Amino acid sequence: MLTRGKVSDMQQKVMHQVQKKESMEDLNTKYTTITFEEALELCQKYITKITTHAYRRENDPARKREMTKSYINEFVDSQKPSVEGHYDLVLLKSALTDEITHYGPITKAMEDPAIDEIRANGPDQIFVESGGRSIKWDQHFTDREHMERIISKLLGVSKVRLTPKIPMVNARTIEGFRVNATHAEISPYDMPAFVIRKFSKKSISPKMLIENESFSSNMYELLSLIPKSDLSWITVGPTGSGKTTLNEILVKEISPLSRIITIENPSEMRLIQREEDSEHGRIMNDVLQYESVPDDDDSSPATMENLLINAMRQSPHWIGPGELRTPGEFATALRAAQTGHYFFTTLHAEGDKEAIYRFLTAYLMVSNEPAELALRNICSAVKFVIFQEKLADGTRKVTSISEILGTDGLNPLINQIYRFDCEDVLEENDGSKKTIKIVGAHKRVGKLSEKVQQMMLKAGIRRSRFEFFTKDPTEDEIEVYEFDDYRFNH
């Protein structure tokens, strides 16, 4: 029979053995010499384990790098790992900081605000996109292993890792950039690949887009009246055409007291407006923004569809899903529009009518409604479709603004107000490279329907603001690309 004292001794022995086992499995490696690669992996796991919500949401690269550096220092100071070739802890901190916060041949591209996208199809195949143009990057990875190490760094503090069992990963870098990476095993060339989409911290203004001839001053006047008049719209176009940027500009035309709820993945739009354009001043508009998880992520219920459903319970005037993808999302967005909410979103389509048909096709996958009734409901909810494209010369243009009038059976009735017509292509060759410029013009080709005119008036818009768009277009109309401060601020 065991006495109380003997039980206590045994308990202590067991606890000692457990603690010893845990210490071996724990991050504390001061009794074991490990390789630098092992130390790097332990450090990244350490950062993943202790990072805060504020760290994950920090969008300033410099601030994020400093926060990461402090976590690295904390890891080394607390764990004091014995690392081959790095027995000086100060030098170890420096090596880990360099490895985790820098990205080898793409470091400059990551830090250059003029670069919007970085693509690597293999160690020696790196391309960047700047100003809408693709450029071959002049640096490269030393080999596949080097590239895979940088991919691990890009995935950084995310909880996912690229493996043969998980060959495709969507994540964020520590700077907040979106990254998609694929494993070498699914490549016929046995090479990994990645794409990084960067988000500019500098807001693009209507003035900049007018001067870049993305749209004319008259077109901007019409575009700005859509949100002001509580008219739901969809911005459509291919990837990288500037849909989100345009929507961010238009959403800021909504009345500050109209409650707006957005759901994006990842969050890109900056909609909070502060008094006197102050970074820390009092917030002037009623905005609530959410970030959804991918639909195949079982770790959280915060999918786009669930957040859309929840948003309808939060008294919004406007609901803005960043992009509609799944049939359930289309159905929920339509339900929101049919229950007194206005909405704006983006989707991939080849034009205005194609956007309506894509909406219909997705909706019918989860609905038993007759197609004609479903189409009628969609065309009743969506008042405007804005088509944006990135042309071959790298310029981004609004190539059509269309009013949705209704339906005729299974045919949506489209009233195109503006259109961009291409006229020619100019080629220039400076000896080192050939560039092209697409020559064309924006033209007004239609006028607003009486129904939309009435809706604008009911929304408190003076007739003089939209009267120009109620008249038939004439042959001698010329679109101007100058920003009129008085016109747009009064």
Spatial distance between the Cα atoms of 436 and 113, rounded to a whole number of angstroms = 24
Is pLDDT of 148 > 60? yes
Is pLDDT of 20 > 70? no
User: Residues 165, 207: contact at Cβ < 8 Å?
Assistant: no
Domain 104-197 carries which CATH code? 3.30.450.380
Which one, of 88, 89, 82, 90, lies nearest residue 39 by Cα?
A: 82
DSSP state, residue 240: T
Q: Side by side, which strands form the sheet with 342-347?
A: 287-291, 260-264, 318-321, 342-347, 233-236, 384-390, 396-408, 411-429, 434-444
Task: Count helices and strands (H / E) in the chain.
Answer: 17, 17
Taking the CA of residue 390 as centre, how many other CA atoms within 13 Å lie in the half-sphere pointing to its CB?
Answer: 16
Spatial distance between the Cα atoms of 92 and 110, rounded to a whole number of angstroms = 24
User: Residues 244, 265: contact at Cβ < 8 Å?
Assistant: no
Is pLDDT of 15 > 60? no
What pLDDT sits at residue 292? 87
Spatial distance between the Cα atoms of 331 and 83, rounded to a whole number of angstroms = 55
Spatial distance between the Cα atoms of 451 and 468, rounded to a whole number of angstroms = 16
403 or 69, higher pLDDT: 403
What residues contact 338, with CB distance under 8 A and at least 6 apart? 377, 381
pLDDT tens string 327-344: 999 999 999 988 889 999
Q: Any idea which fold 206-489 has? A: Rossmann fold (3.40.50)
What pLDDT sits at residue 230? 95
User: Residues 365, 254: contact at Cβ < 8 Å?
Assistant: no
Spatial distance between the Cα atoms of 57 and 63, rounded to a whole number of angstroms = 11
Spatial distance between the Cα atoms of 267 and 302, rounded to a whole number of angstroms = 13
What pLDDT sits at residue 22? 43
What pLDDT sits at residue 298? 65
The rounded percent of the chain whose pLDDT value lies above 90 is 55
CA 88 → CA 73, 102, 243, distances in Å?
13, 21, 51
Is pLDDT of 5 > 50? no
- Band of residue 439 on the pLDDT scale cut at 50, 70, 90: very high
Spatial distance between the Cα atoms of 263 and 319, rounded to a whole number of angstroms = 8
DSSP state, residue 315: -
pLDDT tens string 75-86: 999 989 999 888
User: Residues 416, 445: contact at Cβ < 8 Å?
Assistant: yes
Which one, of 218, 228, 175, lies nearest residue 462 by Cα?
A: 228
User: Residues 438, 427: contact at Cβ < 8 Å?
Assistant: no
- Band of residue 173 on the pLDDT scale cut at 50, 70, 90: confident
* Helical ranges in 51-88 per DSSP H: 53-57, 61-79
What pLDDT sits at residue 23? 42
The rounded percent of the chain whose pLDDT value lies above 70 is 88
What pLDDT sits at residue 19? 47
Domain edges within the chain: 27-101, 104-197, 206-489
What pLDDT sits at residue 48? 79
Backbone angles phi, psi at 360, to 5 degrees: -65, -45
**What's the full length of the chain, in residues?**
490
- Where are the strands (E) in 356-410, listed by range? 384-390, 396-408
Q: For tokens 């909880």, what's the residue? A: 159
DSSP-assigned states of every residue in 130-167: ETTEEEE-S---SSHHHHHHHHHHHHTTSS----SSS-
pLDDT tens string 446-477: 999 999 999 999 999 999 999 999 999 998 89
What pLDDT sits at residue 276? 64
What pLDDT sits at residue 385? 98
pLDDT tens string 267-285: 778 888 777 655 566 778 8
What pLDDT sits at residue 51? 74
Q: Helix (H, G, I), strand (E, B), or coil: what is residue 107?
A: helix
pTM: 0.76
What pLDDT sits at residue 484? 78
pLDDT tens string 366-377: 999 999 999 999
Is pLDDT of 196 > 90? yes
What pLDDT sits at residue 440? 95
What pLDDT sits at residue 61? 65
Spatial distance between the Cα atoms of 163 and 74, rounded to a whole number of angstroms = 28
What pLDDT sits at residue 153? 83
pLDDT tens string 90-138: 999 988 887 787 888 998 899 888 898 999 999 999 999 987 788 999 9
User: Residues 469, 417: contact at Cβ < 8 Å?
Assistant: yes
Mean per-residue pLDDT for 222-226? 97
What pLDDT sits at residue 18? 44
User: Residues 384, 401: contact at Cβ < 8 Å?
Assistant: yes
The two tokens of residue 484 are 């009129």
Average pLDDT, the chain: 86
